Chains A and B, each alone.
Chain A
Amino acid sequence: MKTRLGTISYFLKGCKRYFALAIVFVFLQVIFDLVNPKIMGYTVDYIIDDISQTPKFIIDFANNLGGRDYIMSHLWIVALAVVIIGVLSAISRYAFRMFNSLGGENLARRMRNTLFEHILKLPYKWQDINKTGDIIQRCTSDVDMIRNFIQEQLVNLCRMIATILLALYFMLRVNVILTLCACFFILVVVVYSLIFHGKVGEKFEKVDAEEGRLSSTAQENLAGVRVVRAFGREMYERKRFEEKNEVYIGHWIQMMSILAKFWTISDFVKNAQMITILALGSYLTVNDYMTAGQFVSFIAYNLMIIQPIMELGRVISDMSKSGVSIDRLNYIIKSEIELDSEDSVEFPDYGDIEFQNVSFAYDAKNVLENVNMTIKKGQTIGILGGTGSGKSTLMLLLDGLYNPSEGRITINGVDISKIKRRSLRSHIGFVLQEPYLFSRSLKNNIKIASDNASDADIDEVVETACLKQSINKFKEGFETYVGEKGVTLSGGQKQRAAIAQMLIRKPEIMIFDDSLSAVDSKTDAAIRKGLKKASKDATVIIISHRITTIMGADNIYVFDGGKIKETGNHETLIKNNGIYSKIYELQRSVQEEE
């Protein structure tokens, strides 16, 4: 509970004063709203000329004006007073809402910004183990949940309690027995709705989960429409969807019948309370325990508290839901961010890269074992290995996205764990296996890592990445909007755009993690040729399935099961008669047949 409060008060920094003002104005509004029924009551008393219960200051005030006759012939004065109070109430209402919204929106912005910044700083591994959809939900729904709770419910709660207490105070002044009677019903309604909302909350989660299931069934069917058609499984899919739909609707109907019962019963309790007040009030008035005016205003007060009371149960049950949301945000905020160690340095003068006894385990499974590699400055290195051989992981280690479990990696003798993350990554260009483009124009994607790249720079990298032709084909050329994750581009275009994106920084070390797989061999060769020309001194590491892509490398490493199995240049490896030569034969066999 302490951490929940801590988190909330951290987020509330800078918005507390808005909420404080909101609460002040909500109180003012409640007070103004309570004055009008009083005026109505006194007026009624004066009309029927029964002022036995009217407070002395009102009578004095009326006498000063000119007594009952004067007021009765100048009722517009009373009406004016009602309107003035109304204006004051309207102003307070406006102020309350504005301060409340300033507070709420500030809070939401602060929560979003804090979370986003924190997420960007978290180590890559964190993102790897947490589900995307779940994190997004925490940053959107849970943020909204907390904001709504504080902005709507918490202030609402203050207002409701203020209204109820003030109305009860006035009611008590009118008649104690009648008030106690009204209170009894309040208790019943609050307890009942608390129990109910707890129950309905569970049911609601079930309905929600069922909707998710139905939704993803539709999603899958639509995304896999060709498979469905090609296998002729339309009927099967339809049945599957209809079954899920029926289950979902069934849960909803159950839920609605619970809700309908609740509404009906609380409606009945509400009406029962009113008739009790009406009957008992009449009895008391007839027997002169109170005046007609008091009776009229008592009824008005009673009407005023009924709505807040009905809502009280919902607010309280929402409170526990928001608690859960806070915990969910806490999970993100409390996750440890990636920090540079205190003695970390900038990227050193670039030189040889060395992997010394590097091992890496993921989920207690060894992915890499005792890897030793020396990559000389300016060399081109090829890495070959099957699916799951650990070759990609090795590159993640070099880029500091993962940290080795054992051993160390050095650049020019400096352990990379001692190099500032940002500096390290700016000097290493990493083209990912599945390239990721951002939803903006192609041009802005290419220069995303280098804001002040000139058009000439862009032209140059686009040329090297063999993207020029494709861009010329686009109607809007460089300004083409690539869509979310680059969906409007083909796989090959995405890979080439990612290469251009990497090249613009002119990194000294370039990693291509199977990033030429979606382009044809012709383009593949052209890109590699261009690379050599563009950056003669750069160290290039190429991971590929295609022998032709890596056979020209200065040194080739063959990975299998997380270990280096073979190493050497193409020639030596062929002579070795190992995995490499086997794969080479496989890929070459086609030609042999001729």
Chain B
Amino acid sequence: MENKEKQVKLPLFGLPKLWPYVRKYKTRFIWMIIAGLIYSVFDAIYPLFNRYAINHFIGDKTLDTIWFFIAAYLVITALQCATNYINVMLCAKLELYMDRDLRNNAFAHLQQVSLSYFNSHNVGYIHARVMSDTGKIGELVSWQIMDVVWWGSYLLFGIIVMMIIDVRLAIYLLVMLPIATLVIVIFNKKLLIHNRQVRELNSQITSDINEGITGVKSIKSLAIEEKINDEFHVDTDKMYKKSVKTNHHSALFVSIMTLISTMSLALVLWKGGNLTYEGLVEIGTLSIFMSYALGMLEPIQFIVNTVTRMISVGVNIERYLELMGTTGEVFDKPEVIEKYGDSFNPKYESFEELVGDVEFKDVTFKYPDGEEIILDHFNLKVNKGQSVAIVGETGAGKSTLVNLVCRFFEPTKGEVLIDGRPANDRSLKWLHSNIGYVLQTPYLFSGSVRDNLKYGKEDATDDEILSALKTVGADKMLDKLDHGLDTELGEGGDFLSTGEKQILSIARALLSDPRILILDEATSSVDSVTEHAVQEAIEALTSDRTSFIIAHRLSTVVGADTILVVSDGKIVERGNHRELMKAKGEYYSLYMRQFEELETWKSANG
């Protein structure tokens, strides 16, 4: 329920802020408006034909101009249809081009926004900004503006035509307009609120269903089917009541509107009839006014609906602009971009070779959205080829150092040096192209096994891929797959077990042959036999690379050059295995506890 819809008031529906995006299509936009206006003028003309037919042909009992009449009508129809086609196509293309540009811009921006943005916003939220906000904004600048133009000018031309033909009758009809507008405004507000509540209930029901399906194993093994079912009934009942109530309001609204329309018709018939009877108004004029009386309310309804919708798009505009306005804390300095290029246009020729010395110099750090200081004047020097292990309890904040090395975050104070130079002296792209990263929750993309491995090295040959797989002991796994390297992995690699995914992501990192390697609990879900194989691969992998290893299984970290022990987000101990064991502190007790039972068994067996 976090994305509760809210109402935002931006001046002019936020349109001025969208100008930079619309500007590209300025000409198209202007032509679209012109075509729309012409279309409406034609629309307002039609009743005049009826009037002429009744007044001239029927009133005067002659058919002298009938062929001219038909020809004129057909010409106007043809012209209107042509305008309409042009108008619709201009409008549709404007909408789609806007959609496309907004989406591309958002997507490109997200590739550069700093990672803290992803920590504070969930994927679903960001995804909705890229996919659905853009669509709504596109619709606003095209169809909704067009709707207002169409119906507004239809109304305006209609009123003008009526005024010209007969002012008295026009005034009778116009009396109804403010009443109708008032009714529309009142009901619209009510309906907007009710509809929002219905939508919220609807998404609740969807997530209930989702839970009932994805949680089925738990539901069944806990034998709570009845409880879950009863809860679902409560939600569907709420939905039922709310929907019926909403429908009551909209039914009332429609009924009142048609009643108003009938009343204006009656008024025209009464007053107009009198005037016609007295010979002050022609019979054709009366007929035309009756058709206007019936046709005036629809445009007003449309305009009000559209304007209401335009106002609600304000939220989407605001959210979208907020996304585009986020630069985050991590970005390259202008002089760096000049020398090394940005993420999309890197200047590889100026990339220096990365040796692998990493130094934390007097680093103080707290997360941008947090209060607590995680690192306080922290110093650490890691020479090329050395390995640093970070251990500690579950959820103790072991990823912080890695986030800093990768420049996913910048230090609050102090600096991180890479090869003796501040990390932000060189571009993010330069750094990242030298880092291999294996995640705690390995992420594979949909596509074949080969595509995924090539993610590490674009031009990798099959031989290289196979040898990387062999190094991590995944060649056997490959045999199990139906189509070998061409096997398609589902979204997120759902097809494979977590352990298998981890192995593939290690192979992927291996292929990229990085100078700095980061393993974030990379082997937690691999079974022992496989883990041992992977362990050997990792040792080979880390021997000549600077590496950072996060693990909760101590077996992985014993050989590391430096071990950091983290507790409650802070580093409480550092040293190598031998030193830490001697110190008999936190590490010692962690280590001993892990093997406690092993020891007991050993001593029991003498």
Write out the residue numbers on chain B whose beta carbons fall within 8 Å of the beta carbon of A215.
127, 131
Interface hits, A225-243 → B, CB 8 Å? 225-238, 241-242
Which residues of B in the span 557-606 have a Cβ within 8 Å of any Cβ on A? Answer: 558, 577, 581, 590, 593-598, 601, 605
Q: Which residues of B contact A78 (CB under 8 A)?
A: 266, 269-270, 273
A9 in contact (CB, < 8 A): no
User: Interface stretch among B97-105, B163-171, B467-475?
Assistant: B97-105
Q: Given the complex of chains A and B, what is the CA–CA distance between A234 and B109 in angstroms?
A: 10
Is A249 a contact of B53 with CB atoms below 8 Å? no
Interfacial chain B residues near A520, Cβ < 8 Å:
393-394, 552, 590
Size category of the binding interface on chain A = 35 or more
Within B424-473, the residues touching A (CB, 8 Å) are 428-429, 432-433, 435-437, 439, 443, 445-446, 455-456, 458
Q: Which residues of A contact B126 (CB under 8 A)?
A: 222
- A451 nearest CB neighbor, chain B only: B227
Interface string of A566-585 (1 = CB under 8 A from B): 00001100000000001100
Contacts of B225 in A (CB 8 A): 120-121, 422
Answer whether A501 and B222 are a contact pair too, CB < 8 Å, given A72-B277, A112-B205, A256-B92: yes
Distance of A119 Cα from B213 Cα, bound (Å): 8
Chain A contacts for B46, CB-based, 8 A: 274
Kindly list chain B residues whose C-beta atoms are within 8 Å of the C-beta of A588.
Answer: 595, 598
In the bound complex, do residue A234 and residue B269 qualify as a contact, i.e. CB atoms below 8 Å apart? no
B512 touches A231 (CB 8 A): yes
Name which residue of chain B comes closest to A116, CB basis: B232
Given contact pairs A113-B236, A484-B211, A219 touches B223 in the complex (Cβ within 8 A) = no
3 tightest A-B CB contacts, nearest first: A86-B262, A230-B437, A97-B251
Q: Does B530 contact A (CB under 8 A)?
A: yes
Residues of B within 8 Å of A330, CB to CB, are: none
Separation of A251 and B564 alpha carbons in the complex (Å): 55
A101, B244: Cβ atoms closer than 8 Å? yes
Residues of A within 8 A of B306 (CB): none
Q: Is the CB of B456 within 8 A of A231?
A: yes
- Contact at B244–A586, with CB atoms within 8 Å? no
A226 and B598 contact, CB distance less than 8 A: no
Selected from B250, B274, B394, the residue in CB contact (under 8 A) with A75 is B274
Contact between chains at A286 and B250 (CB < 8 Å): no
Binary A-proximity of B399-414 (CB < 8 A = 1, otherwise 0): 0000000101000000
Residues of B within 8 A of A112 (CB): 205, 209, 232, 236
Asked if B96 and A252 make an inter-chain contact with CB atoms under 8 angstroms apart, the answer reads yes
* CB-based contact A44/B287 at 8 Å: yes
Q: Are B406 and A282 in contact (CB under 8 A)?
A: no
A97 touches B276 (CB 8 A): no
Number of A-B contacts (CB under 8 A): 437
Contact, CB under 8 Å: A224 / B432: no
Which of A112, A236, A571, A589 has its CB near the most chain B CB atoms (within 10 A)?
A112
Shortest distance from the beta carbon of A277 to any chain B beta carbon, whole Å: 10
Please judge, given known A-B contacts A72-B273, A218-B130, A295-B54, whether A282 and B213 are in contact too, CB under 8 Å. Answer: no
Q: A75-B273, A109-B240, A136-B206 are in contact. Are A275 and B77 (CB under 8 A)?
A: yes
Minimum CB–CB distance from A203 to chain B (whole Å) comes to 14
Residue contacts A-B, CB under 8 angstroms, 29 given: A75-B273, A80-B266, A86-B265, A101-B244, A102-B244, A105-B240, A105-B247, A116-B229, A223-B492, A226-B115, A227-B439, A227-B443, A228-B111, A230-B435, A232-B346, A232-B432, A235-B343, A235-B346, A238-B111, A278-B53, A283-B63, A292-B58, A300-B291, A387-B530, A399-B220, A421-B223, A436-B217, A521-B593, A593-B558
Question: Most chain-A CB neighbours within 10 Å: which of B78, B406, B528?
Answer: B528
Task: State whether A85 and B262 are in contact (beta carbons under 8 Å apart), knowing that A124-B220, A492-B394 are contacts in the complex.
Answer: yes
- In the assembled complex, which residues on chain B have CB atoms less than 8 Å from the CB atom of A195? none
Residues of B within 8 A of A232 (CB): 343, 346, 429, 432-433
Q: Which residues of A contact B216 (CB under 8 A)?
A: 119-120, 124, 127
A375 within 8 A of B: no
**Cβ A218 vs Cβ B107 within 8 A:** yes
For the complex, what is the distance from the CA of A68 to the CA of B454, rounded to whole Å? 92
Say yes or no: A230 contacts B432, CB within 8 Å: yes
Q: Which residues of B contact A505 (CB under 8 A)?
A: 222
B174 at the interface (CB under 8 A from A): no
**CB <8 Å contact, B223 and A120:** no
- For B277, give its contact among A47, A570, A587 (CB under 8 Å): A47
Which chain A residues lie closer than 8 Å to B418 at the CB level?
Answer: none
Residues in B whose Cβ lies below 8 Å from that of A98: 244, 247-248, 251
A463 within 8 A of B: no
A590 touches B (CB below 8 Å): yes
Question: Which chain B residues in 225-255 approach chain A with CB under 8 Å?
Answer: 225, 227-229, 232-233, 236-237, 239-240, 243-244, 247-248, 250-252, 254-255
B182 at the interface (CB under 8 A from A): no
- A288's closest neighbor in chain B, by CB? B61
A93 B244 Cβ-Cβ under 8 A: no
Min CB gap B464→A, angstroms: 16
Q: For residues 40 through 63 of chain B, which have their beta carbon under 8 Å from a beta carbon of chain A?
A: 46, 49-50, 53-54, 57-59, 61-63
Query: Which of A85, A220, A231, A518 sits near B491, CB closer than 8 Å?
Result: A220
- Cβ-neighbour of B594 out of A86, A120, A231, A548 (below 8 A): A548
* A residues in contact with B118, CB < 8 Å: 222, 225
Do residues A231 and B255 form an inter-chain contact, with CB atoms below 8 A? no
In the complex, which residues of chain A have a beta carbon less than 8 angstroms from the beta carbon of B598?
547-548, 551, 588, 591
Q: CA A137 – CA B454 in complex, angstroms?
A: 34
**B406-A230 in contact (CB<8A):** yes
B379 beta carbon closer than 8 Å to chain A: no
* A79, A117, A432: the one within 8 Å of B266 (CB): A79
Say yes or no: A278 contacts B50, CB within 8 Å: yes
CB-based nearest A residue for B273: A75
Q: Interface-forming stretch among A183-191, A264-272, A320-328?
A: A264-272
- A439 adjacent to chain B (CB < 8 Å): yes
Scoring A227, A236, A485, A582 by chain B CB atoms within 10 A of each residue's CB, the highest score goes to A227
Give the docked Cα–Cα distance between A186 and B374 (Å).
Answer: 76
| Chain B residues positioned under 8 Å from A236 (CB to CB) | 458
Residues of chain A within 8 A (CB-CB) of B205 are 112, 140
Q: How far is the CA of A162 from the CA of B306 in the complex (A)?
A: 31
Partner of A267, one of B84, B232, B497: B84
- Listed stretches B65-73, B149-157, B314-322, B361-369; interface member: B65-73
Is A261 positioned at the interface, with any CB of B under 8 Å from its CB?
Answer: yes
Q: In the complex, are the beta carbons of A571 and B217 less than 8 A apart?
A: no
Q: Which residue of B lies closest to A257 (CB)?
A: B89
* Cross-chain contact B237 with A253 (CB below 8 angstroms): no
Question: Is B307 close to A, CB under 8 A?
Answer: no
**What chain B residues lie within 8 Å of A268 (beta carbons)?**
77-78, 81
B77 cross-chain contacts in A, Cβ below 8 A: 267-268, 271-272, 275
Complex formed: what's the CA distance from A228 to B508 in Å?
12
Q: Which residue of A lies closest to B73 (CB)?
A: A275
Q: Is the CB of A263 within 8 A of B432?
A: no
Decide: A425 near B269, CB < 8 A? Known: A120-B228, A263-B88, A571-B605. Answer: no
A43, A232, A505: most-surrounded residue (chain B CB, <10 A):
A232
Instruction: Determine how close the nearest CB of chain B comes to the CB of A143; give it in whole angstroms.
Output: 10
Determine which of B63, B227, B291 lies in contact with A448 in the assembled complex, contact meaning CB atoms within 8 Å.
B227
Flag B193-233 by CB within 8 Å of A: 1 or 0 each: 00000000000011111111111111111111101110011
**Are B66 and A279 in contact (CB-based, < 8 A)?**
yes
Interface flag for A362 (CB, 8 Å): no
B445 touches A224 (CB 8 A): yes
Out of A94, A109, A225, which one reaches B252, CB within 8 Å? A94
* B85 part of interface (Cβ distance < 8 Å): yes
Contact with B along A73-112 (1 / 0, CB 8 A): 0011011101101110111011001100110011011001
Residues of chain A from 156 to 206 with CB closer than 8 A to chain B in the complex: none
Complex contact A132–B254 (CB within 8 A):
no
Residues of B contacting A83 in the complex (Cβ-Cβ under 8 angstroms): 262-263, 266
**Complex Cα–Cα for A427 and B483 (A):** 43
The answer to whether A545 and B528 have CB atoms under 8 Å apart is: yes
Residue from A139, A214, A582 whose CB has the most chain B CB atoms within 10 Å = A139
Contacts of A87 in B (CB 8 A): 259
